[in-house]
Amino acid sequence: MSKYQKVNWKKKVDFLLFGWIVNWAYPEYYRPKYGYKAYRSILLYSFIPQKILGINRHVPWPVHFTSRIGLVQKIKTGIMSDPGDNIGIYIQANMGFEIGHNVGLGAGTAIISSNHNHNDHSLHDEVQPIRIGNNVFIGANSVILPGVQIGSNVVIGAGSVVAKDIPSNSIAVGNPCRVIKEKEPYVERFDQIEFNRKIPEKFKDYFTSY
């Protein structure tokens, strides 16, 4: 039995009372129905600040009120990836930010897609978008710098400064961040798990791709 199927009554009540509000407020929010974040917490720390107080109102997924997301129109996200839903995350997407499926950003992570030009601070240097693959976790207080490409099945250690590309199937840490070992395949499966809403066909290939 999946760990997400072992559901106590409190989680069921949480979904019945608050899950429909989250689903209504965030039509592109796809997560396992139980086992991620409590729906009441999403209402308190994301829905009220975004939809009522206007903090990160332009972002179509849940964002914690302490996080800041810039130029959301230049961000592309996959399923189970909601950049900014953790505490104190900063995303500057001037040059674009593409994030795959099942990606977690630890508290205090900063994504910096462009630098100011050294000779004219009113300009930003042109670089390729930051890209992160599937099944990636970025540890707390890490910084991802412009143009970086991070593969799939990667763990970035807490406090890392990622200035160069990180290949798939890697564990990388440090400042500057470097690969320290190969990572074993990602094993968590989602194809038999009940989600908070029906999964669109465009995402279903992910469930059998690893």
pLDDT tens, residue by residue, 140-149: 999 999 999 9
Domain that residue 174 falls in? 3-208
The CATH number of whichever domain residue 15 belongs to comes to 2.160.10.10
Give me the phi and psi of 39, to 5 degrees please. Answer: -65, -30
Tokens at 51, concatenated? 């939809």
Count of domains for the chain:
1
Nearest to 19, CA basis, from 31, 6, 8, 7: 31
For the chain, the average pLDDT equals 93
pLDDT tens, residue by residue, 24-36: 999 999 999 998 9
Model-level pTM?
0.91
**171-195 as b/e: b if 16+ CB within 10 A:** bbbeeebebeeebeebeeebeebeb
For position 123, what pLDDT does the model report? Answer: 74
In this structure, the strands spanning 130-132 and 90-92 are: unpaired
